[in-house]
Amino acid sequence: MTKLSVNINKIATLRNSRGGNVPNVLATALACERFGAEGITVHPRPDERHIRYQDVYDLKAEISTEFNIEGNCQEQKFIDLVLANKPTQVTLVPDALNQITSNHGWDTVKHRSYLQDMVKLFKDQGIRVSIFVDPDEDMVEAAAETGTDRIELYTEAFAAEFGFDSAKAVAPYYKAAKKAEEVGLGLNAGHDLDLNNLKYFNEHIPGLLEVSIGHALIADALYLGLEETIKRYLAALKA
């Protein structure tokens, strides 16, 4: 069964909008675990506009499932944060400064040498590495040459097309997944996956190990409650 990692950035966004510690980021993460989530994801950014660096230390000390830290490894503060906390997995994302949300994967051909260095840095500390990529077979193949353990497929394009032509939407992701399997890479996915499209995606993507879902899941929790929402996402991921 594909694992569900809950991205709790939006909980931090809500907390920061008012000040104080409500809602509590750590308490939410622990509740997600209690309700069945198999991982917690955070994506700290340099301005700490949602997840704060201290949140990462607090989470690392308390959560018991897999911990995934996403972010831009071109920022030294991010590298230092990951090395200090040694999460289960680090996901390398090519964010620009002040970018609202991730909107593209790495060009693993152009940046192959740089990514090789970053992958080695983290793997030498026992951290599993995943590289955020678009569903492009060339990018997947080049990612394998960096030494990374996994890739994470950027799924916004799938989500945008899904309501119009689901088969067309998933086709490039299927090809990318088969290429990952061919070159020996583990496979994650994330961005705009939700209760409408997740089951279809999971059923049509071979070898999918993990999805990271935040915005849609937290929005659904406003209507359904957090426990019921996580149950529904887990149900969508059943083989």
**pLDDT tens digits, one per residue of 80-91:** 999 999 999 999
Ligand-binding annotation for 50, yes or no, is yes
* Other CB atoms within 10 A of residue 19 CB: 7
Report helix, strand or coil for 165.
Answer: coil
Tally of structural domains, the chain: 1
209 in Cβ contact with 188 (< 8 Å):
yes
pLDDT mean across residues, the chain: 95
Residue 28 has pLDDT above 90, yes or no: yes
Active site residues: 43, 70, 191
Residue 100 has pLDDT above 60, yes or no: no
Residue 210 has pLDDT above 60, yes or no: yes
Report helix, strand or coil for 168.
Answer: helix
Segment 146-184, tens digit of pLDDT: 999 999 999 999 999 999 999 999 999 999 999 999 999
Average pLDDT rounded to a whole number, residues 179-205:
98
Question: Which range marks the domain in which residue 66 is found?
Answer: 3-236
Ligand-binding annotation for 128, yes or no, is no
Q: How confident is the model at residue 104 (pLDDT cuts 50, 70, 90)?
A: confident
Tell me what pLDDT residue 46 has: 87
Ligand-binding annotation for 215, yes or no, is yes
Ligand-binding annotation for 13, yes or no, is no
Cis amide prior to 23 (ω within 30 degrees): yes
Q: Say which CATH number the domain at 85 has.
A: 3.20.20.70
What pTM did the predictor assign?
A: 0.94
50: phi then psi, degrees, rounded to nearest 5: -130, -90
Q: How confident is the model at residue 230 (pLDDT cuts 50, 70, 90)?
A: very high
Tell me what pLDDT residue 95 has: 74
Tell me what pLDDT residue 98 has: 60
